[in-house]
Structure 1
C-alpha cells in the first residue's frame, strides 16, 4: 500500500499550482509525481476548460477526473469522456442579455460553450453577440475593472438567484449552473474514486466552495480575504511551492496538526 492511498488532492491552477509568472515549479511537479507514485490521486479543479491542463503535460498529468469550468464539467483525461456536464438552459440567454443591458458596470462578456469560446466584440450588442452562440453554454464571464466587478458581485446574484456567481479573478464575475461549482464536482469526484480524504487547494473566490466542502481545505498565503477566512489551513504563497508543501504534510499520520 502507498502512503497516500485513499487521498485525492484537487488543486486550483492559476495562482495556486502556478506561481505569479504562470509557471509550475519543478518542486511542485516532482511532489505531484511522488504523490501519484505512492497511491495518491492528483487532479485540478479549475475555471478553465477541461483540456487546459494538457498545456503542462510535460510537467505533470492528472491521474483522475478533472473538474473544469468551475465545476460545470467533470472530464476523464484517460478515456477522453465527460463524466458530468452542467450546461445552462437556452433560456439563460435572456438573463445574460438582461444583465448586459441593465448593469452599466458590465464590460466585455465572454462565454465558454461546449466546444468553443465566444468573446463579445467592441460595440457588439447583446442580441448580436448571443445570436452567434449555437452550442450549449457552460461558463459566462463578465469582465470589467476590479471596482466594477466588486459592485456587480454584490448586486447581480441577488437579482438572478437561479445561477451561481463568483469571481474567478479580480476583474471577472462568472455565472454558471446551480448544479456546477468546484465544491459539488470535487465531492462527486471523491465519491467516484472511492477516496477517503478529499484535500483541496485554492486562492480565489471561485475556490471557496471546494475549500468549505472538502475534508481539508488549504489556501495559499496570498489568497483573497474571503478565501483566507474559508480555508481550514493557510499554507505558503504560490511562489513557494505550496503543492509540494501540502503533499509533504499529507505524509504525516495527522496532517496539519
Structure 2
C-alpha cells in the first residue's frame, strides 16, 4: 500500500461507477468490465476502495456485495455509514423533528409541484409520488433496490424518529428556487443538488467530503492520501479534501472546474481510465469500453 501515492480511492456510483447503458456487463448493476478490472488491479497493488453515494443502503446494497467492499461505505451523501464487516448502519447526524416539520411546511409552499421524500435509516416517508417522480425513480433504480416507502395522508402524521435527510424530487427548472430557499433559511443545514432532479437537505456538517476525511483518519491515513471521483455537485466536497480528484466527462460544470483531472464519461469506463493513468503504481493495459 505504501507504493501507492493515493492508497484510498472513493467513488461515486450514479453517473460515475456505473454506465447509463442497461446492456453493459449486467442488466441490473451496469458496471463496465473495464471498471471492474481496474478496481481489482488497484486492490491487488494494495489500494483500498469504497463508495460514496447519495443512495440509501437498500439502493446500494447489491453493488456493495457485488464489488465485495469491506471498508465503510458512505451513504445518503454522508448522512449514513454502512459497515460491511459488522453489517451495521450508523447515522452520522440527524435532523430534529421540529426542523423537519418546519422545512416541509416551507418547501410545500415554495415548490408545491415537487415531491418530498423524508428518510430514516430504513424507510422513506412521503405523501405520494407524482408520475414524473415515479418515472425518475424507475429509470434510476430497480424496484427491489428501493427502500420501503410509507405513504402518509399528511406530513403531520410523520412519526417521531431520527431523520437522515429530506429529498426534494422533481423537474430541474425548480432547482433554482430551492437554492434560493437554502440561501435564506435560518436553519443550520447542508444542502446539495445530487442530480438534475434531486435536491437534498442534510444535517449541518454532513457531506461526502466530511465522511471521506473521517474514513481516512479511521484508517490511519491523512485525507490527502485519498483519491475521489464523481459526476455531480454532491461530489464537490470530496474534491476539497482529497489529494487528487477526477470528474467524469459527463459531470456537472462546477465539478469539471473543481476537479484535478477530467476522465472519460461513465459510458466510456472513465473510472477505469482514471485508475490506470493516475492511481496505479505499476500501470497495466486495461482497455476502456466505449
For the criterion TM > 0.5, the same-fold answer is yes
RMSD: 2.5
1:208 to 217, 226, 236: 236
Gaps of 5+ in 2: 23-29, 131-150, 283-290
Does structure 1 retain, via aligned residues, the 8 Å contact 2:57–2:75? yes
**1:114 corresponds to which residue?**
121
**CA 1:50–1:112: 2 relative to 1, 3 Å:** same
For this pair of structures, how many residues does the alignment match?
252
**TM-score scaled by length of structure 2:** 0.79
The structure 1 segments of at least 4 consecutive aligned residues displaced by more than 4 Å after TM superposition are none
How far apart, CA to CA, are the structure 1 residues paired with 2:126 and 2:85? 30
1:250 to 268, 275, 279: 279
**CA 1:100–1:32: 2 relative to 1, 3 Å:** same
Gaps of 5+ in 1: none
**CA 1:53–1:2: 2 relative to 1, 3 Å:** farther
How far apart, CA to CA, are the structure 2 residues paired with 1:234 and 1:104? 34
How far apart, CA to CA, are the structure 2 residues paired with 1:246 and 1:191? 24
How far apart, CA to CA, are the structure 2 residues paired with 1:168 and 1:130? 27
Question: How big is the shift at 1:251?
Answer: 1.7
Does structure 2 retain, via aligned residues, the 8 Å contact 1:33–1:60? no
How far apart, CA to CA, are the structure 2 residues paired with 1:68 and 1:38? 26
| 1:220 corresponds to 2:278 | no
Q: Deviations over 1:159-186 (max 9, x none)?
A: 2451111111111211001121100001
After TM superposition, the structure 1 stretch with the greater mean CA deviation from structure 2, 80-89 or 108-117, is 80-89
**CA 1:151–1:118: 2 relative to 1, 3 Å:** same
**CA 1:94–1:112: 2 relative to 1, 3 Å:** closer
Question: How big is the shift at 1:80?
Answer: 1.5
After TM superposition, the structure 1 stretch with the greater mean CA deviation from structure 2, 188-197 or 177-186, is 188-197
**CA 1:57–1:227: 2 relative to 1, 3 Å:** closer
Does structure 2 retain, via aligned residues, the 8 Å contact 1:50–1:67? no
Q: Deviations over 1:212-234 (max 9, x none)?
A: 22111211011111111111111
Question: How big is the shift at 1:155?
Answer: 3.1
**2:9 corresponds to which residue?**
9
Does structure 2 retain, via aligned residues, the 8 Å contact 1:208–1:230? yes
Question: How big is the shift at 1:150?
Answer: 2.6
Does structure 2 retain, via aligned residues, the 8 Å contact 1:106–1:142? no
**1:140 corresponds to which residue?**
166
Q: Deviations over 1:131-171 (max 9, x none)?
A: 23442111211112101113322333332451111111111
**1:67 corresponds to which residue?**
74
> Which one has the bigger helix percentage?
2
**1:185 corresponds to which residue?**
211
Does structure 2 retain, via aligned residues, the 8 Å contact 1:157–1:164? no
After TM superposition, the structure 1 stretch with the greater mean CA deviation from structure 2, 113-122 or 35-44, is 113-122
Q: Secondary structure at the match of 1:91?
A: helix
**CA 1:152–1:143: 2 relative to 1, 3 Å:** same
